[in-house]
Each structure stands twice: as structure tokens, then as C-alpha cells.
Structure 1
Amino acid sequence: MKTEQVGDALLETWTVDEVAAAFNRNEIILIDVRTPQEFMFEHIEGALLMPMAFFNPDKLPGQSEKRIVFHCGSGVRSERVARRAIDAGLARIAHMEGGFGAWKGAKKPYIGTNMATGAPHLVS
């Protein structure tokens, strides 16, 4: 995990493996900031959707029990959202390096769309 001090806050950049391990242990809330269309086509099972276009840090869940980790397609949007969360007063926030593309590249499981039927299915 990489960390960056941003004023009084800490921005963490987690690797795919760190996110996957913490998510499997139910230690984090994984929030996808891609568009609803991107999410519907393929997403990490159990991730919540809060598109960057509608991001409101005041509506984020608390982090008393689980850390919030954002992700997007490549890591660019999730870092922007994480910085917006810090600007809104969150003292510690994280995002996933490389985004969903890195997740798929690491062969982590996700929900995809069967192109023949249009139905969602587990890709592992």
C-alpha cells in the first residue's frame, strides 16, 4: 500500500491483491465510481455503485468498522473521488491502483455479461 499525506488526511493507494484480501475478509466497503452502464456490463460482486458524476461525500457510509476503498476502470477516477472525499473532511480514504482493468488482469473474479444471452455470470 502506498500512502500520501494530503494536508491532515491520508490518501491510501491499495494494490488489487490488498483489496481482494481485505474484501474477502469483509474488512472494507468497495465503492465503484464508474458509470451505471460500465457497472451493469461488468463489476466486482458485492461492490457498491456511486458514480463519480453523482458523487456526494456526505452520503458515504461511516468508516468505524470498515474502510472505504474506491475503484474505477483504471484508477484515475477513483483517485479523483478519493481526493474529493478528503476535501470534504474525510481523514483517511483509499482507492485501488489500476482499477477494474488491473482486477481483471490479476484474474480476480467478477460478474460479467454473457454476450450470447445478455445475462450476468461469474467470471473467474
Structure 2
Amino acid sequence: MNIRVYYEDTDAGGIVYHANYLKFCERARSEYFFSQNLVPIIDEAHFVVRKMDCDFISSAYFSDVLKVVSKIKEIKKASFIMTQEIKKDERLIFKTEVTLVLAKDGKPKRIDENIKDMLQSLFAKIE
């Protein structure tokens, strides 16, 4: 998924504010669902971030076009781990490994096999 950096994404110096890389990744995860006419809500359950490990490698600037690449690393009983990279001109500038839990009413919910299959096919098809 491509993302354009707008002025609102930057600090006074035109550099992307660090928290916005997380927003770009969140936006990309949702867009994968939207691109398939789906929403990231399954049986009133939502995928929520449990853990993130982030590496801020280089900066992005106002008007840059960034590419977010998302891949599933592992699917567990109620969660999955994915990697997301943000690239500028094919150069890696940010990467994260994020654990997402399927939660309903504040409690983990088992990921059914059909949802696992859907996640694997969805994130395998789209960049």
C-alpha cells in the first residue's frame, strides 16, 4: 500500500513524526481488508495490538510516497504475528513486528480456521 506524507504527518521541520509510522501501518492493515470488501471486524470481534517491536531506520519527509509491505509471520490460537515494513524508493526506513489479538468483549477469541485461511490469503496477495 502506498501512502503520501502530508504536512499534518510531519513536525515543524517537515520530518515524519515517529508515532505516524504506527498510524501508517495501522492504515495499511485496515486497507488490506477494505480492498477485499471486508472490514477488520469479525463476529463483533476486533484485532487489537498486543505487542510491537519497532525499528526506526531512517526518516521520511513531507510529500514523500511511502510503501507499506505487510506479511503474516505466524498465526496462533487467538493471535497472529506480522511484519510490516515501510519503504521509501525501495529503501527500508521503518520496520515492525506486531502481535495482534482477536478480542471480543475485552477477552481473546479463538481464530477459526476459515479466518486463518482468509488472513493468510489476504496478506499473501497484497503489498
TM range (shorter): under 0.3
TM-score, normalising length: structure 2: 0.25
Higher helix share: 1
Larger C-alpha radius of gyration, 1 or 2? 2
Higher strand share: 2
